[in-house]
Every structure is written in C-alpha cells, then in structure tokens.
Structure 1
C-alpha cells in the first residue's frame, strides 16, 4: 500500500491531499488567516466563571471567548498555575523543572469556582478549533508532541501507546525513556516509536525540551492573549504524525514550502529527504495527480460507491446523516438480503473513507439498507471497524440497530471540510446550477458501455457540445477510436450547438432517441416521479 502527500500552495493557504494507492483519503486546507490551531498555547484571562456548567470562559483574543471545563484543568493544574506565576514574576529564573516543587494534584470532582477566579491569567492549550458559532475549547493539561514522544510537564509518569502490544518492546522503550527524560517531565511514547533506537528518541526528546525552553522565554515577557507557543502547521504536523515506511513521495509546488519541509524532515527523519520533490511542471500538481476530479466527485451531497449504490450525505448543526441507497445494484443479486449485504459492505467502506476525508466529527448516523440477518449486520459493522482503525481521530461505533441504523461518534477538533461541487451553469448563463461538468465524460462512457455491451446496440450516434466533440474526435488515437478498438463497433460523434456542455443525446441506427441527458429531461423525469408519488 503506497502513500503520497501532495501539497498545493495557494494565495489563501495550503491544500493538502493524502493519497493511498492513488485514491484520496484525507484532504485539509491549512488557511493562512487561521490564528488558532489545535496545540497552540496561549496566555489567557478568565472572563467568566460558570458554576452551573462547572466551566469558565477564557479570553485568548478570539471573537468568542474560549471554553475551559473543569475536567480539562488536568491533575497537575496547581503546579502549572504556581509555575506560571513564578515565571511571570521572574521568581523562577530557568526553564528546566529539576528543582521545581510540585503543588499537589487537582480534585477530580471539584468545582470550577474553587479553582479559578475572574481576571486570573492562565497558560492554556487549544484542543478544539473554533467550530460554527463556538469559540475554541481549551485544556490546561499542557503537552508538546514530537514525532515519537509526547512531553508532559509536572509529571514523572512514562506511558506507552496501547497499539504497541509486545510486552518486551514496551519494557525496552520505558527503560530507554527513563534514562533520557528530564526530571519532573512525564512522557507518552507514541506508536511510531516501536523499534526505534535511543539516538532517534533522544533527538526527539531534545527537540521538545527546546520547545519547553522557548515557552519559558516567551512566558516571561508574555502579555494577556499572547500566543506563547505555536503548534506546527497542518502540513508539518501531518508529516510528524503520519510519515512511515509506506510513504512513497511527498510533492509540493512551492519553493518556500519545499525548503521549509526539507528543513523539518532534516530534523525528524533525515532518511526520508529523498521522498520530497518540488513540482515544476506546467500542469498543476492537483490536476496531474487527478485530485481535482476526485474532490469534485467525493465532496458532493451524493457520492457514488465504486461497486454500486450511492450515499446521500446531509449535514446539520447537531449531527451528520448518511443514507445508503442501492442504485443500479437493486436487481443484480439473487435475493433482497444478498443485495442489501452487497451494497452495505461497499457503502461501509466508503462511509469510513468519507468520515476521514471530510474530517466529520460529532454524531454520525448511517442509515444502511435493512438486513434481516444478524450475521449480515455483523459483517457490515466489522467492515466499518476494519477501515476506521487507520483513522487518527478517536471514535466510538455502536452496533447496527434493527432499523438498520449505525451510530458513530468521532472526535471533532476542527471544522469539517466542505468543498462546493456545484458550478455556474454554462448553458443558462448562471441562472441555475448543475453537478460538476468534469463528470459528463464519465457518464457518456458509462452509457456507451451499457448500450454496446449490455444491450448489444450497434450503429449508435452520440450528439454533444462542440467542445466535447473535439475531446472525443481529435488526436492521433482519439477517444472515438479507442471505443472502436475496445468494442469493435463504430460510434458516430456529432456536433450539436443546441446542447449545453454537460448535455448529450444518443440515437440508435434508425435515428430514434434512446438516451437524452439534459436539464429539461432531468426536470421532466423529476415531475413524472412526483406525479407517480401523488397517484
């Protein structure tokens, strides 16, 4: 399985695409105007204490006050507050915590008004970006993530990722970290640390200690609402968290971004420098790798499932709803249960992919096609689990109900990615919208294949817009000729200026219309369907 990271720099920020075997599985847009990212550490001021919510609202300079719940203060809250005051008052002259005396732990079932006071200044870390009308969510359980380790101040605990299952390896890593970690710092050992040598782990540790010293220096001169320590950009953080042996290439189209990533790779993984490439071709990097087309097909309200059926995805303030439909697969299996299982298994894979691709969080309800067999429902659940195990976000999956509903909760730390897949209609001059025009050639190819193979038609004529006519007929080996070489049947392609760019008409050898794809035809089919429902 190959992984490629493609980065396209734009005026507004970086578009980041992760491809797995050439298929898009993650997409992010790292905007230049985003001043609040997950992992950033601010010097905030308590604006309002809310005993009823057991939480407080903190001013960190955002238009909406950030939210800090009592449960996010962290058990080391007293020590962090004591240390922060000491640094700001110049009573603590050095960054290392070797001589710092802890100030006890926080009561897990305490009250927020006993811990915080209005006007108090706190060192807080963003754990959830602003979403919709809500401000950022904060934590005082400060941590600094590296490639292999996570450094946790005011603790001496060493913990290992549960995904490292070997007892021998867990013990080895604990011994190594105990020998190199600074005093009064805890460490969480990440999954990618498995099998790594002490030199690599120590280099990662020193990078995080430098971060802590930077935080110390910035806090000494810090003012309310200042960003004390910024997290890595989305691009570098993806490299830090995801770079592994399966990566084949990292391609960027901006020279400054190339130099920045080269410098970062030199720090975290010098052996991976050969994977980094600067795109200099005339064709845009997203076009060359087929990403633009995938974005248009994967972010719409309706998403086609590769092996049949389609999904309808609706977003609301409270939750996301995904409806599974059988489409043209409804008559291709021996019985209803087999059809439902076949479509649901394919849809389960696409649902798991869509959650990761769109970065959907919160509550997701998936309405699968009804299945009577408990064994069939279990197969669909297992498929969702197997695909989502690669997801970095925390999630919970509940069993499918007897109504065919699967409920998923997924960690929401950033706004869900949304891409407009409709475009202004070139035929009506902007008075309406159509689905993305990039898909029309796929629809024509599918129609031709169905007519020539499944229906055994011959002598058919395809009428299209002049632009599409050129697309199918020009070139040394045209698309029209490729059809002939594939089916051994000639398809006549005609220009028709009355048709829009996304419209086409197919006639049989007698000149009788056998398929029409146009805005008027679509409206007529919709009206006929409504009349059938009324009847």
Structure 2
C-alpha cells in the first residue's frame, strides 16, 4: 500500500494540489494568478535587444510580457523563435525562457531537435526497456524528422494502452506546436496547471478532493518558525536571500550538531513547500569544525530526492553555510 495521497483543491479559484506522505505535507503546488505564465508555456517570441557582456537577449512574448534568454548566441533583434518558460520571475522582471523545448507528459518526453527513441537510464530492467521501445516504435510515425522521445521511469509496468495513448497525444501536440507557421509574438501553448502537474510528476496514489484536510498544514507555512526534533529554526526570506537561523535548547557542541542534522533533514522539504529559492544562508547552531563534513553529508542525502536543482556552495569565514536553489516556484506566501 502506497504511503502517498494526493489532495486536489483550489486557492482563490486557482488549481492547487498537495502530496501527502504518511499524513504529512510533502509537496505543494498552487497555480499563479492568471497574468503570470506557467512553467512549460510555449511562445512564439521576437528577439528585442541583446545585453552586451552577458550573452543574453530580451524577447517579446506577446500579451505585454518580456522574456529573458540567457544564451542568445547567434540571435539577432527581430528574429523569431519558439521558446518555453523555465521559471518564474519577480513582478516587473523578465520571464526566463529557453529555446530547448520539451513536451513532457506522465510517461514520455517528446524532444524536438533530439531525434531517437530512448528509455530513462534509471529504468534498469532490460526486458521492460525492450517492451517500452517496441510500444514506442509501433505508435510513433516512421518519419519522425528531428523529434525524439524519452520514455520516463513512470512508464515501467504500465498497461500498453495507457502508454500508447500518452505517446500518441504528446507526439501530436508537439507536432502541431513545432509546425507553427505564424508570425509575431504569440502565446501558443499554456503550461500544465497544478492538477495536471500532480498527475504528471507525483507518484501513483489515491486522490482526494477534501482540501480542508490540508489547510492547517498549509497555514503553518506562513510562519517563519519550524520545530524539528531537538531544533527550532527560522526561515526568513528577504529581497537578497533566504536566511535560516538554527536554535537548540541543548547546550554544548553535541547539542548543536544534533540540531544542525535535524535542519539538514527537514530543510529541503521546507524550502520546497514554501517555494523558496535563490541564495540561501544557514546560520547554524555552534558545532566543531570536524562535524561540518557530517552535516554536509546529511544535507546532500536529504536533497537527493528533491526535484529542484540545489547547489551547496560552502562555508563562509563567519561559519555560515551557503547554498543556491533554482527559482522554480513562486513563494507560497505570495500565492496564499
């Protein structure tokens, strides 16, 4: 029996989804207001102006929106191209986009510009890999041009008819978008909402629509204080960074190390649920320098299954620990 449960609901008429693990909030998705594009949205963009020294280009996306392409080598002002939204931007800032477009569904990813049919490396069973490849070759057209497909790990063991439908629908959608012949800046395809994302990316689990069951746990995300084992820590976002302060009632270096380990185990979950990213600075409880390696190992282990790219930078002269996290979500406090 799966320990997961998915709860679907709404926040101010916007789609929302909560992933529960043994009754505890594990992940949270809430749609942004309607004037902010979802990650995965596709636009026909028009190059506007390059930024010298940075290698990037501002793009016109239509609907009054501006995009930022960080790798604009070879692009010229006035040139049109298809781009996909890769993250959220603060109000008044350009939306990050890429021209490496992917069409992602539950069981497959269609990859324009990367031909071939492949299976996710994490799927090791050779017999199952062969089964999935055979299904894909039967469903997809022989002339696939420059588009390819990656069969995701979630495809393992799934019924043939479900895989065929997912492959066929995703391929057709990708073909229609990539054959676009229009001109000018225009929104071509919306990104998935919270309900579809929960189906696409979360584990198979029973689905409930009793949103009231998770409201108390969501409300707890609005306070800076978090209690975890022997530690109490405070997560406080500022304009420049996210500051995390660790406190412990236990004295001595052993108590400090235990509190810091508790933080390491809980921090990825808290950052994910709160939608926080960017620069993160940890003001840890006092502990000997010899325990730093153990803390880093615990933090890396906790981040291993986290879906958001996070880099551990290291220690400052003041003994703080720094990390950076990709800004893939709008802060939950703002969405609430």
User: TM-score normalised by the shorter chain: which range applies?
Assistant: 0.7 to 0.9
**CA drift at 1:152:** 0.9
Separation in 1, partners of 2:222, 2:287: 28
Distance 1:14 1:117, change over 3 A: same
Question: Among residues 180, 185, 194, which one is paired with 1:234 in the alignment?
Answer: 194
- State the partner residue of 1:330: 250
Conserved? CA contact 2:260–2:285, under 8 Å: yes
Distance 1:402 1:55, change over 3 A: closer
**CA drift at 1:302:** 2.2
- State the partner residue of 1:67: 68
SS at 1:142's partner residue? coil
Whether 2:14 is the aligned partner of 1:9: answer no
- State the partner residue of 1:150: 109
Alignment of 1:76-115 (within 5 A): 112=73, 115=74
Distance 1:199 1:124, change over 3 A: same
Q: Could you tell me which runs of 5 or more consecutive residues in structure 2 were left unpaired when the two chains were aligned.
A: none
**CA drift at 1:211:** 0.7
Distance 1:31 1:69, change over 3 A: closer
- State the partner residue of 1:364: 280
Separation in 2, partners of 1:380, 1:165: 32
SS at 1:380's partner residue? helix
**CA drift at 1:330:** 1.7
Question: Which TM-score applies when normalising by structure 2?
Answer: 0.86
Two-structure CA RMSD over aligned residues (Å): 2.9
Conserved? CA contact 2:62–2:187, under 8 Å: no
**CA drift at 1:400:** 5.9
- Higher RCO, 1 or 2 (CA under 8 Å, sep at least 6)? 2
Which has the larger helix fraction? 1
Question: Residue by residue, what CA displacement relative to the aligned partner does 1:264-321 show, whole Å, maximum 9, x if unpaired?
Answer: xxxxxxxxxxxxxxx5xxxxx32xx2x332233333122222x232112222333212
**CA drift at 1:419:** 5.8
Distance 1:378 1:208, change over 3 A: same
**CA drift at 1:227:** 1.4
Question: Residue by residue, what CA displacement relative to the aligned partner does 1:364-423 show, whole Å, maximum 9, x if unpaired?
Answer: 22222132163x4344333323332232112223566786533332222232222699xx
Separation in 2, partners of 1:237, 1:163: 21
SS at 2:332's partner residue? coil
Separation in 1, partners of 2:318, 2:107: 44
Whether 2:225 is the aligned partner of 1:302: answer yes
Alignment of 1:179-194 (within 5 A): 180-182=139-141, 183-184=144-145, 185-194=147-156
Question: Residue by residue, what CA displacement relative to the aligned partner does 1:58-98 show, whole Å, maximum 9, x if unpaired?
Answer: 10125452111226xxxxxxxxxxxxxxxxxxxxxxxxxxx
Q: Which runs of 4+ in 1 moved over 6 A?
A: none
**CA drift at 1:236:** 0.7
Alignment of 1:141-180 (within 5 A): 141-165=100-124, 173-174=132-133, 177-178=136-137, 180=139
SS at 1:356's partner residue? helix
In the comparison of the two structures, how many residue pairs are matched? 332
**CA drift at 1:47:** 1.4
Which has the larger strand fraction? 2
Question: Which TM-score applies when normalising by structure 1?
Answer: 0.56
Separation in 1, partners of 2:96, 2:334: 25
Separation in 2, partners of 1:14, 1:198: 30
Separation in 2, partners of 1:149, 1:210: 13
Whether 2:19 is the aligned partner of 1:22: answer no
Separation in 1, partners of 2:101, 2:222: 35
Separation in 1, partners of 2:183, 2:45: 9
Conserved? CA contact 1:369–1:404, under 8 Å: no
Q: Could you tell me which runs of 5 or more consecutive residues in structure 1 were left unpaired when the two chains were aligned.
A: 72-111, 253-278, 280-284, 422-535
- State the partner residue of 2:330: 415
Larger Rg: 1
Question: Residue by residue, what CA displacement relative to the aligned partner does 1:29-66 show, whole Å, maximum 9, x if unpaired?
Answer: 21451441111111111111334322211101254521
**Larger deviation, residues 125-134 vs 135-144:** 125-134
Question: Residue by residue, what CA displacement relative to the aligned partner does 1:132-157 show, whole Å, maximum 9, x if unpaired?
Answer: 43221111112100111110123324
- State the partner residue of 2:297: 382
Conserved? CA contact 1:377–1:400, under 8 Å: no
**CA drift at 1:198:** 4.7
Separation in 2, partners of 1:296, 1:381: 30
Distance 1:133 1:344, change over 3 A: same
Question: Among residues 68, 84, 98, which one is paired with 1:139 in the alignment?
Answer: 98
Conserved? CA contact 2:63–2:186, under 8 Å: no
